[in-house]
Amino acid sequence: MILKLEHINKAYHTGKLDVPVLHDVSLHVEKGEYVAIMGPSGSGKSTLMNIIGCLDRPDSGTYELNGEDVLGKDDNALAKIRLMNLGFVFQNFQLLARETALENVALPLVYAKVPKKERRERAREALEKVGLGDRVAFTPGQLSGGQKQRVAIARAMVNRPGILLADEPTGALDSHSSLQIMELFQQLNEEGVTVIMITHSPDIAAYARRVCDIFDGVISERNGQVNAAQQAERKAEAEAEEALARMRQRSAERLRHGSLTKEEPS
Amino acid sequence: MLENIRLAFRGIASHKMRSFLTMLGIIIGIASIMSIVSTIKGTNDALRDKLVGSGNNTVKVSLSSGGQELSIYDASSVPQNVQPIADETRQKIADLKTVKQVTLYNKRFVTDSSVFYGDNSVSQFNMYGVDDVYFDTVGYRLKTGRAFLESDYTLFRKVMILDQVASQKLFPDTDPLGKTVEFMGQPFTVIGVMYEPDDYEPDIQTVEDYYNNQDNSNGLFFIPKADWPIVFNYDEPENVIVKATSTDDMTTAGGAAAKILNQTITSTSDDTPKYQAEDLLGIVKSQQKLTAAANMQLIWIAGISLLVGAIGVMNIMLVSVTERTAEIGLKKAIGARQSAILGQFLTEAAVLTTMGGLIGVGVGVLLSYLINRFSGIPVAISIPWSAGAVLISMLIGVISGLLPAQKAARMDPINALRRE
Ligand SMILES: Nc1ncnc2c1ncn2[C@@H]1O[C@H](COP(=O)(O)OP(=O)(O)O)[C@@H](O)[C@H]1O
Ligand SMILES: [Mg+2]
């Protein structure tokens, strides 16, 4: 299992007010999955994404990434995980305006201490892969929204992370550009990249093989599919209920035999 | 690091006006310090060249009594209890580490005799009895003729070298070479005319200098030291000139030579003269200290403008960090460690102030030349100070960039990204 979040709770503390955002969220994702997370604005999608992306820490719960506990790690260790294992795509692209497409894409390689020549080569390759081989020297101001987002995808994937996290990647794009982005995601997923994508749009969510809904900070699986965490939880609940029922039955029997006050070893 | 420098230049280039105004404080501070330092150094160098003579580094070690150089002007003024300098003593001085060359000479201010050629004569002049390295050590050159040869000494040849003043007086219309003059009843053949290159011209700084110069105004006469006892009937105490290995060694060399010489004087009576080295360097240093002290206060004032500049840099860097919240957030999100962000902003501040420092040094040099051009104050650019100024500018950048860079490094990536 590549991602294993269990019983995650998160509240924001603004002044005296506590704003609870995530309630007991559990999410298991297998390697190579393509998950869409849907929900209305303010339901906690980005908050969850930030936790998955090791940018933020929950108030309680556990989180394992590639079988390793994440929450116990310090900031530098988390930076390294983000650098090597996670790729980020944002709604507003988050490209550096003064840098060329190539330099933007090469940025994670700078932090990974890749030598300059190799940086350029790999950044160029990544841009070619998203169909922007002829735009390497363009600055974001010279690119359309869809092109900008493709540069952002190239940047997210240049360090070859196993997981791509996208927070409303098509939120600022027209339908044609959105389609191109979805094709890219599809392709990456087919190559084995685990994709987790937040979206508003059911059309976009339809590209994912699995959809989770989040509403007021509570997550649920769609399409009758039950995710592993919920499965486990339901099983536990069912077992607990069963056990309770058995206990009731036994108590009732004991009452009948008048032995409630005189505990006998059974 | 290189990547950080590239980013810094790009950042500075994208805010040219703002960057320049930020640098201005540093530029003004460094430029004023540089021109003050150039003026101090220029004045000091001029002082030193004038008094010490550039590149010659010779120190007179002469018999003195009561702090005054002993003047021998007739037989009665010759001190009786000082012997001529032994060869062994000369060698000891020559072996000193700070000494490059030693020359021994006799000197008399002749008042009771004259040098004659035909109807012309010169009286009241300095007569020198010199060894064969004297001219070389002191830095005198020959205008015409030849120098003293070893054979002049071994054969006790009566030969003479004149300076141009003496030559003019005795031979106004004729070539002096090969002519025979008379001195103390002895014939001397003139073999050469010498001159002092400009560097070694006497500088009149003190009353004593004035009299010494006055003494030389009737001309200089040189004969081989071997002839001295023939002319004056006695061996006389000698004086020494040492050439130090460097200007900074002059005081040491002179002092050490005087000490060796004084050890040879056995008489303990109060009127015995002692060898004393002239301490030109010491005089120069004390004068230099005076000029430097006066100007040091100016440097402090210029330092204040550097401080103001540093605060300006910190202020702009803080603004820059706030403006670039999104950039910082993104970089942290994609995996930049705190140290990477810290490094980026420190580099940017350092590049900014180093550029300011470089421009400041350039402006300072220009200002120095303008000061020299319009006020005539001597200036000299100090390379170590220039390098130091640039280095200090860099340091100012690092220090004033520290707080803003830390603010950037500690920024929470979520808030940073969210703010967009
Ligand atoms: N840094 C924050 N401080 C306080 N409240 C926040 C902060 N971030 C998000 N919230 C609140 O948490 C809730 C969920 O936000 P978010 O996760 O961004 O929702 P979504 O992405 O689904 O629109 C919202 O009510 C939002 O106002
Ligand atoms: Mg959101």
The pLDDT tens digits for A213-254 are: 999 999 998 865 545 555 566 667 777 878 888 888 888 888
**Ion ligand 2 residues within 5 Å by Cβ:** A 46
- Shortest-distance atom of ligand 1 to CA A44: 17
**Contacts B413 to A, Cβ<8 Å:** 55
A3-256 domain in CATH 3.40.50.300?
yes
Going from the Cα of A213 to the center of ligand 2, the distance in angstroms, rounded, reads 14
Is pLDDT of B377 > 90?
A: no
Reported confidence tier of residue B410, pLDDT bands at 50, 70, 90: very high
Is pLDDT of B284 > 60?
A: yes
DSSP class of residue B84 equals P
Going from the Cα of B411 to the center of ligand 1, the distance in angstroms, rounded, reads 18
pLDDT for the residue numbered B215: 63
pLDDT for the residue numbered A245: 82
Residue reference for tokens 């100090």: B382
pLDDT for the residue numbered B53: 60
User: What residue in A sits closest to B340 (Cα-Cα)?
Assistant: A111
Nearest to B156 by CA among B226, B228, B254: B226
Structure tokens given for B124:
């009241």
Reported confidence tier of residue B233, pLDDT bands at 50, 70, 90: confident
Amino acid making up residue B291: T
Chain A: give the shortest CA distance to residue B3, in Å: 8
Reported confidence tier of residue A144, pLDDT bands at 50, 70, 90: very high
Which candidate from B3, B333, B337 shows the least CB-CB separation from A76? B337
Sign of torsion over alpha carbons B5, B11, B16, B18: negative
What percentage of chain A reaches a pLDDT higher than 90? 74
Domain boundaries, chain A: 3-256
Inter-chain residue contact B417 with A90, CB threshold 8 Å: yes
What percentage of chain B reaches a pLDDT higher than 70? 93
Going from the Cα of A142 to the center of ligand 2, the distance in angstroms, rounded, reads 27
Structure tokens given for B55:
């590149």
Which candidate from A94, A98, A159 shows the least CB-CB separation from B417? A94
User: What residue in B sits closest to A157 (Cα-Cα)?
Assistant: B334
Is the ipTM of this structure higher than 0.85?
Answer: no
d(CA B102, CA B138): 10
Structure tokens given for A266:
């059974």
The finding on whether A43 has its CB within 6 A of some atom of ligand 1 is yes
Least trusted range by pLDDT, from A179-183, A212-216, B189-193, B297-301: B297-301
Is B27 within 8 Å of B359 (Cβ atoms)?
yes
Reported confidence tier of residue B299, pLDDT bands at 50, 70, 90: confident
pLDDT for the residue numbered B227: 92
d(CA B87, CA B90): 5
pLDDT in tens, B95-116: 999 999 999 999 888 888 889 9
**Contacts A123 to B, Cβ<8 Å:** none
Inter-chain residue contact A82 with B326, CB threshold 8 Å: no
Average pLDDT of the segment spanning A125-150: 95
pLDDT averaged over every residue in chain B: 86
Sign of torsion over alpha carbons B418, A107, B332, A73: positive
Distances (CA, A) of B212 to B47, B209, B277: 20, 5, 16
pLDDT in tens, B235-274: 788 889 999 888 778 888 988 998 998 888 877 777 788 8
pLDDT in tens, A44-89: 999 999 999 999 999 999 999 999 999 999 999 999 999 999 999 9
pLDDT for the residue numbered B288: 72
Inform me whether the C-beta atom of residue A172 falls under 8 Å from chain B C-beta atoms: no
Reported confidence tier of residue A266, pLDDT bands at 50, 70, 90: very low
Inter-chain residue contact A98 with B14, CB threshold 8 Å: yes
Average pLDDT of the segment spanning A8-27: 91
Inter-chain residue contact A98 with B331, CB threshold 8 Å: no
Is pLDDT of B133 > 50?
A: yes
* Close Cβ partners of B293 (under 8 Å, ≥ 6 residues apart): none
Going from the Cα of A105 to the center of ligand 1, the distance in angstroms, rounded, reads 29
Is pLDDT of B158 > 90?
A: yes
Q: Which of B61-70, B127-136, B242-251 has the highest mean pLDDT?
A: B127-136
Q: How many CB pairs under 8 A join A and B?
A: 56
From the CB of residue B357, how many other CB atoms can be counted at a distance below 10 Å?
31
pLDDT averaged over every residue in chain A: 89
The DSSP-derived string for chain A is: --EEEEEEEEEEEETTEEEEEEEEEEEEE-TT-EEEEE--TTSSHHHHHHHHTTSS--SEEEEEETTEE-TTS-HHHHHHHHHHHEEEE-TT----TTS-HHHHHHHHHHHTT--HHHHHHHHHHHHHHTT-GGGTT--GGGS-HHHHHHHHHHHHHTT--SEEEEESTTTTS-HHHHHHHHHHHHHHHHTT-EEEEEES-HHHHTTSSEEEEEETTEEEE-TT---HHHHHHHHHHHHHHHHHHHHHHHHHHHHHTT-SSS----
Q: How far is CA A88 from the centre of its chain?
A: 10
pLDDT for the residue numbered B310: 93
What percentage of chain B reaches a pLDDT higher than 90? 41
Structure tokens given for A201:
């749009």
Q: Which of A218-227, B199-208, B320-329 has the highest mean pLDDT?
A: B320-329
Reported confidence tier of residue B365, pLDDT bands at 50, 70, 90: very high
Distances (CA, A) of A119 to A112, A123, A140, A158, B212: 10, 6, 19, 9, 77
The DSSP-derived string for B276-287 is: EE--HHHHHHHH
pLDDT for the residue numbered A264: 47
Q: How far is CA B2 from the centre of its chain?
A: 41
- Shortest-distance atom of ligand 1 to CA A47: 17
Q: Which residue puts its alpha carbon closest to atom 4 of ligand 1?
A: A12
Structure tokens given for B238:
């000698």
Q: Looking at the whole model, is its pTM more than 0.90? A: no
Inform me whether the C-beta atom of residue A44 falls under 8 Å from chain B C-beta atoms: no
Distances (CA, A) of B103 to A148, B19, B133, B225, B243: 85, 62, 6, 11, 9
The finding on whether A44 has its CB within 6 A of some atom of ligand 1 is yes
Reported confidence tier of residue B73, pLDDT bands at 50, 70, 90: confident
Least trusted range by pLDDT, from B78-82, B204-208, B315-319: B204-208
d(CA B420, CA A46): 14
d(CA A240, CA A237): 5
